[in-house]
């Protein structure tokens, strides 16, 4: 990856299409609900493959952190195979940066998988989705997995807040928002001070909790995915421009939100000229050490 040639690094893109057969029952309904919420015609039956994602980002000269979500235990949907995502990312290493996802309930088996993925497949980080995986990030059963991630020098990225997953569906698909309050990351950041942690999304309705944790803990960053920048609350814009300017990361939430839409709206936001390159690329480049 020649980062100098990239205009930005998108820290939050999803590998959605299954790699090993047709979608599971209920997955189409889930994705259709997401498409309605985000008013996104790319959802539903038209989700991009990892290769199509690479082609899309290459055309725009944008790098992308890409990952599946392992929520098999709670949703019943098979996860997209971590090795498969990493293999395709390796074939498109000029634009794709592979992350993986492991349900922390898998305990030490998950920790062994994490070490193998880093050492043998070049995985750079791990995505957690407390709402879909139904766990509090500071639950001790997750700590063996965090220990492996920290010891391997990888990054832990956590979904925070309410961004539309399950919104408007019956019972919210059984998902509970309480798990994704970013204040729970404070314990993780204190207990694993050398593990970089990214709190994904503007953390509605807990924005100030996220800003507080990122301000207090040196190893906590925020990616700005999952919301169009035109909806960012004023306090978030204030912190982007000032005290947390070196800890904010561009993220789209592809394919729910496209980078084209996010970047167009970000251009209209009242962001200082010297801060824009930090958010769009420089902070991610430093965090990923590329």
pLDDT, one tens digit per residue, over 129-188 is 999 899 999 999 999 999 999 999 999 999 999 866 655 566 656 667 899 999 999 999
* Alpha-carbon distance values, 195 to 145, 188, 189, 234, 241 (Å): 12, 9, 7, 29, 25
pLDDT tens for residues 221-238?
Answer: 999 999 999 999 999 999
Nearest-CA neighbor of 66 among 42, 46, 90? 90
Q: Lowest-confidence range among 27-36, 177-186, 251-260?
A: 27-36
Range list of H helices, 152-244: 185-191, 207-216, 234-241
For residues 132 and 70, what is the distance between their CA atoms, to the nearest angstrom? 9
Q: Does residue 39 or residue 14 have the better pLDDT?
A: 14
How does DSSP classify residue 196?
-
Average the pLDDT over 260-267 and give the result: 98
| pLDDT band (50, 70, 90) for residue 20 | very low
Residue 229: which domain range?
A: 3-288
Average the pLDDT over 206-217 and give the result: 98
Are 238 and 271 contacting, i.e. CB atoms less than 8 angstroms apart? no
Q: Which residues pair with 126 in a beta bridge?
A: 100, 156
At 29 the pLDDT is 57
3-class DSSP state of 109: helix
Number of domains in the chain: 1
Nearest-CA neighbor of 80 among 68, 94, 66? 68
CATH code for the domain in which residue 210 is found = 3.20.20.140
| pLDDT band (50, 70, 90) for residue 71 | confident
Q: What does the mean pLDDT of the chain come to?
A: 90
């Amino acid at each position: 990856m020649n980062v100098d040639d990239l205009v930005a690094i998108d820290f939050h893109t999803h590998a959605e299409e299954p790699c090993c057969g047709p979608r599971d029952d209920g997955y189409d309904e889930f994705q259709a609900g997401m498409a309605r919420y985000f008013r996104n015609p790319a959802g539903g039956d038209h989700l991009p493959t990892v290769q199509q994602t690479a082609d899309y980002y290459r055309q725009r000269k944008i790098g992308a952190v890409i990952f599946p979500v392992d929520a098999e235990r709670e949703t019943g949907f098979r996860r997209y195979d971590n090795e498969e995502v990493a293999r395709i990312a390796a074939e498109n290493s000029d634009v794709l940066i592979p992350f993986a996802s492991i349900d922390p309930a898998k305990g030490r088996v998950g920790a062994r998988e994490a070490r193998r993925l880093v050492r043998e497949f070049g995985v750079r980080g791990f995505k957690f989705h407390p709402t879909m995986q139904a766990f509090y990030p500071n639950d001790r059963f997750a700590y063996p997995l965090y220990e492996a991630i920290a010891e391997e020098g990888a990054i832990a990225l956590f979904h925070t807040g309410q961004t539309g997953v399950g919104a408007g569906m019956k019972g919210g698909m059984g998902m509970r928002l309480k798990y994704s309050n970013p204040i729970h990351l404070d314990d993780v950041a204190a207990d694993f001070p050398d593990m970089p942690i990214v709190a994904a999304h503007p953390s509605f309705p807990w924005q100030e909790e996220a800003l507080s944790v990122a301000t207090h803990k040196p190893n906590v960053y925020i990616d700005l995915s999952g919301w169009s920048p035109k909806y960012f609350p004023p306090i978030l814009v204030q912190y982007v421009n000032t005290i947390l300017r070196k800890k904010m990361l561009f993220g789209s939430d592809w394919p729910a939100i496209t980078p084209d839409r996010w970047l167009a709206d970000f251009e209209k936001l009242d962001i200082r000229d010297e801060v824009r390159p930090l958010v769009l690329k420089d902070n991610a480049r430093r965090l990923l050490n590329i």
